[in-house]
Homo-oligomer: A and B are copies of this chain.
Amino acid sequence: MTHSPEQWRALATQLRADSIRCTTAAGSGHPTSSMSAADLMAVLLADHLHYDFNDPHNLRNDRLIFSKGHAAPLLYAMFKAAGAITDEELMSLRKFGSRLEGHPVPLLPYVDVATGSLGQGLPAAVGIAFSAKYLDKLPLKVWVLLGDSEMAEGSNYEALQIGSHYQLNNIIAILDMNRLGQRGPTMLQWHGEVYAERVRAFGWHAILVDGHDVEAIHRAYSEAESADRPTMIIAKTLKGAGVSFLADKEGWHGRALPAADAERALAELGNPKGDIRVQVQSHRPGEPAPLGEPKPFQPPQYEIGSLVATREAYGDALRALGVAKPQVVALDGEVGNSTFSEKFMKAYPERFFEVYIAEQQLVSAAVGLQVMKKVPFASTFAAFFTRAYDQIRMAAISRANINLVGSHAGVSIGEDGPSQMGLEDLAMMRAICGSTVLYPSCAVTAAHLTAQMATRAGINYMRTTREKTPVIYGPNESFPIGGCKVLRASANDVACVIGAGITLHEALKAYEILKAEGLSVRVIDLYSVKPIDATTLRQAAAECQNRIVVAEDHWPQGGLGDAVLDVFSAPDVSCPKMKRLAVTEMPGSGKPQELLDAAGISAPFIAEAVRSLMR
């Protein structure tokens, strides 16, 4: 049942008025960026969105992402018009404790992903569309409202190319081309034909439309809903549309109207009552395709002492998880033969998404997939996750549950040189709110941790090693997240050596060196970097004459050393003598062992650090 143009316009007027009212009440916000898209959103809400506001997490719902998150007032005004929030809550915008933050976050159940850092809505939509089209086989649409300024972000072009490569005709992007950015005109201003040309070159359907002509908007949406490829509707709009002294005027970006101006503006809008309530259509027909039955996880088996790279164990475990958990999906940045995600790909091609060398899209697609209740594992080199740090940060604000696995950590990768070495990944990932950071030293550990990631909430990161390393643990060992393993211990340990990944193996060699000198040291495998096993570490310090050596294949900042140090920073804890070994100079190429030696993080340096602490 279609509403009339008059009804659309009346709704749009209410959305504009509400955007003004709530931002003026807040004293900040983006009313004019909301007003430009009000007609677009009125028609969408009234006649094209299929969404059950009483059951927002139903898989069958359409999805609506405000990639231009600063237009949050408009989004909240839509929620009010749909009856999902009250006018009173709308007026709590930006106030302390309100779910209606300055930019949308999933504290509101109608928001699937946090936005506010630009250029992230479309890439997240790709992940949702992957799930809907290829896994759930549901006819839902993913609607994405984009600002024109954010078309400068490269991440959008990653989404455009993947969108056409995977024929994601369930994505309908709406470009609110209002010509004005934060500080002045955008690069392309109202040259909609240039946007259209670009979008078409990426294999998308493009529709140019007057973003204030509700009937044309309606036709465009209908056309997009039946398109055989993803669509971008390029809507020419006026920033601040609907109010003469705001429309297409510079200087109003991100400014709430002072009370007197708001009054004038509302009067010009006809002082709408604000009581229009839209009955949004329920979700489109169809049931999600069944995923299959979960089975017990059968971890891959490795013989103690055999040489297996932890990156390969990740691949083995991921493949095993594929059997155990039908919700598990994997993605890779075109290095699946290095990260070993290809083991999963070969076993479950239908649950694997090759994202090519587009790491921003890689992480955003994972965020989108978890919106659709999948358990995504995304892998690339540890170094290249730096490319997506903003996406990872925003994933935390999205309260997303995603698993990231970075291979080729540290100088131990050898000849490829520093561009390929993950040396800041621990720092980066530890500084993500609520993150889990894991760093196995052994294939058995890597496999067990992979399995645990699949059921753990939040942003989970595992760092893997390129080189093959000896298997340390037997099949019945357990590796609780937040724990560590004491591998060597005696009653007369003179120091405690803490390592993880490649440096744990160096620590074990250092143990032998020192043992030959008659010194025994405790050796700890710190496979869980965050959370960290403070109890065991404090106990170890106390039992090892308060001497600790930490060795890590990472810069000194933000890695293992800082994590350990933090354990002893509490005021009621006594503080050990500590020696920290880390990579302090820019490495070059060379053999792994040469580079470990050059960085001073190999066994002889660890042994010497112990001796120096004893002097």
Contact = CB atoms under 8 A, between A and B. Distances in A.
For chain A, the bracket of interface size reads 35 or more
A150 to B, nearest CB: 6
Nearest to A360: B154
Contact of A393 (B181, B414, B424, B595): B424
Interface stretch (A93-101, A467-475, A508-516): A93-101
A390 interface: yes
A29 interface: yes
A150 B69 contact: no
Contacts of A167: none
Contacts of A612: 571
Given A103-B419, A198-B202, A431-B427, A386 B396 contact: no
A570 B577 CA distance: 7
Interface string A410-437: 0000111111100110011011111000
A152 B103 contact: no
A23 to B, nearest CB: 10
A326 interface: no
Contacts of A152: 158, 161, 334, 356-358
Interface stretch (A113-121, A133-141, A230-238, A312-320): A113-121
B390 A418 contact: no
> What is the total number of copies of this protein in its complex?
2
A424 B396 CA distance: 12
A487 interface: no
A555 B417 contact: no
B431 A424 contact: yes
Q: Residue among A194, A358, A419, A580 with the most chain B CB within 10 A?
A: A419
Interface string A129-169: 00000000000000000000110111111100100010000
B568 A575 contact: yes
A561 B563 CA distance: 12
B101 A588 contact: yes
Interface in A56-105: 69, 94-98, 100-103, 105
Given A102-B415, A153-B357, 7 more contacts: A97-B590, A152-B158, A182-B335, A198-B198, A389-B428, A394-B419, A427-B430
9 contacts: A98-B588, A100-B589, A114-B418, A116-B417, A149-B357, A152-B161, A183-B335, A431-B557, A571-B578
